[in-house]
């Protein structure tokens, strides 16, 4: 029997403070109807703590679900476009906090495709025998790099983290096929010059260069084509058709991107999982958070064929076909929580609003009404 990488634990960390469409209406010329129609998003979360805190808690929850001790891990791999710092990596900081003293740790950046790339790495190491137990985390604090008065980007993104424990298991379940790709010639469509959310973000460059540069329409088209082509290729590698697929968990970029790709692929839309409405696009965190939510809502059954697919900056894309294992229930629950906060959403966004105010000819001290 071949050894495969099977998800045995899962978890997510959703920060408590919400940024609703009504809040965004106070910051730019946008409205709830436009945002919901064009993106499917009603609200997103804004983290009052570091991205590493989100990663750590999602990781602890995934370890509890697998009933695994941190010392048993061989690898911690974090996918993030918004690490606290470039070095040390989020993975190394999580490793220290968990006390996962027997494992390797590194970060990987493939933007919104990060969790797919990270899973492909972990699965490859498991199949080759280098690693037996891996904790793969997607974590983002995207709000740290947002100009909330730029309506073309601010409505899309949110913060959060999701995690999965992969274990070496002999049998039919686990990662069956991977399709990864990139096209650096289109990299200019999504550019982020930040040096880490706790790095010298606001002093290293002027505001006009710091904001996320994003060509929405171009990205939209590339994403739809890219996801559809990648899923087609990865299914061909397994010999499955779209009929054989039980659940599709796409990167939650935009409900319309997912709908358009679903139509191109001719996948029954009831098989496609979505949780974008209240989380927004959480970058590399979106797929592991969606896996956790899909399990909690009984959308994944033992033995199901599950397809993960993502598209992101770089540009990068990737898809994975896996056969789910025997268990869809957590073995244990981790009862830790993030530290509570009384901060309102505009308090948390204050550094962003202040930094980017001059770009919009606004007084940085003007109250938000």
Ligand X SMILES: CC(C)(COP(=O)(O)OP(=O)(O)OC[C@H]1O[C@@H](n2cnc3c(N)ncnc32)[C@H](O)[C@@H]1OP(=O)(O)O)[C@@H](O)C(=O)NCCC(=O)NCCS
Which residues bind to ligand X, rule: CB under 6 A? 30, 34-35, 38-39, 112, 151-152, 155-156, 216-217, 219-220, 223, 253-254, 281, 311-312
Q: Is 251 a catalytic residue?
A: yes
The rounded Cα 310 to chain-centroid distance in angstroms is 9
In the Cβ-directed half-sphere of 3, how many Cα atoms lie within 13 Å?
15
> In whole angstroms, how close is the CB of 142 to ligand X at the nearest point?
11
Toward ligand X, which CB reaches closer, 165 or 315?
315
Residue nearest to ligand X (CB): 216
Toward ligand X, which CB reaches closer, 135 or 223?
223
Catalytic pick among 121, 254, 281, 352: 281
Residues 63, 44: Cα–Cα separation, whole Å? 26
Cβ-based neighbour number of residue 26 at 10 Å? 11
Toward ligand X, which CB reaches closer, 149 or 271?
149
> In whole angstroms, how close is the CB of 318 to ligand X at the nearest point?
12
Residues 59, 76: Cα–Cα separation, whole Å? 9
Residues 363, 354: Cα–Cα separation, whole Å? 8
Cβ atoms 155, 164 nearer than 8 A: no
Residues 299, 307: Cα–Cα separation, whole Å? 13
> In whole angstroms, how close is the CB of 129 to ligand X at the nearest point?
34
Toward ligand X, which CB reaches closer, 217 or 369?
217
> In whole angstroms, how close is the CB of 111 to ligand X at the nearest point?
7
Catalytic pick among 21, 112, 143, 352: 112
> In whole angstroms, how close is the CB of 149 to ligand X at the nearest point?
11
Toward ligand X, which CB reaches closer, 253 or 308?
253
**What DSSP element (H or E) covers 8?**
strand 3-13
> In whole angstroms, how close is the CB of 34 to ligand X at the nearest point?
4
Catalytic pick among 251, 254, 275, 352: 251
**What DSSP element (H or E) covers 164?**
strand 160-170
Cβ atoms 317, 165 nearer than 8 A: no
Toward ligand X, which CB reaches closer, 162 or 312?
312
Own/partner pairs for 150-154, CB < 8 Å, 24+ apart? 150/28, 150/211, 150/356, 151/24, 151/28, 151/29, 151/30, 152/214, 152/216, 153/211, 153/212, 153/214, 153/216, 154/24, 154/27, 154/28
Q: Which residues are catalytic?
A: 112, 251, 281
């Amino acid at each position: 029997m071949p050894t495969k990488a099977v998800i045995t634990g899962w978890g997510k960390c959703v920060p408590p403070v919400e940024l609703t469409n009504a809040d965004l209406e106070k910051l730019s010329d946008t409205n709830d109807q436009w945002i919901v129609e064009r993106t499917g998003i009603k609200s997103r979360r804004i983290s009052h703590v570091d991205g590493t805190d989100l990663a750590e808690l999602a990781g602890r929850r995934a370890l509890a679900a697998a009933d695994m001790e941190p010392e048993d891990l061989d690898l911690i791999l974090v996918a993030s476009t918004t690490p606290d710092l470039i070095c040390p990596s989020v993975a190394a900081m999580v490793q220290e906090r968990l006390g996962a003293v027997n494992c390797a740790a590194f970060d990987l950046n493939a933007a919104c495709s990060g969790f797919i790339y990270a899973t492909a790495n972990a699965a490859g190491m498991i199949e080759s025998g280098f690693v037996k137990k891996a904790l793969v985390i997607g974590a983002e604090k995207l709000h740290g790099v947002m100009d909330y008065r730029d309506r073309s980007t601010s409505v899309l993104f949110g913060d959060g983290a999701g995690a999965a424990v992969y274990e070496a298991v002999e049998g039919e379940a686990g990662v069956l096929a991977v399709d990864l790709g990139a096209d650096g010639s289109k990299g200019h469509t999504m550019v982020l010059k930040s040096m880490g959310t706790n790095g010298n973000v606001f002093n290293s460059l002027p505001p006009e260069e710091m904001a996320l540069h994003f060509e929405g329409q171009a990205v939209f088209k590339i994403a739809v084509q890219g996801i559809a082509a990648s899923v087609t290729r990865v299914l061909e590698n397994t010999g499955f058709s779209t009929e054989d697929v039980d659940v599709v968990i796409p990167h939650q970029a935009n409900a319309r991107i997912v709908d358009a790709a679903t139509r191109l692929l001719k996948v029954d839309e009831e098989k496609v999982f979505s949780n974008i409405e209240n989380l927004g696009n959480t970058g590399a965190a979106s797929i592991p958070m969606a896996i956790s939510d899909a399990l909690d809502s009984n959308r994944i059954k033992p033995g199901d064929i599950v397809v993960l697919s993502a598209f992101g900056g770089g540009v990068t894309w990737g898809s994975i076909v896996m056969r789910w294992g025997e268990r869809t229930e957590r073995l244990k629950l981790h009862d830790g929580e993030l530290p509570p906060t009384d901060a309102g959403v505009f308090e948390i966004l204050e550094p962003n609003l202040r930094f980017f105010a001059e770009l919009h000819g606004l007084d940085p001290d003007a109250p938000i009404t």
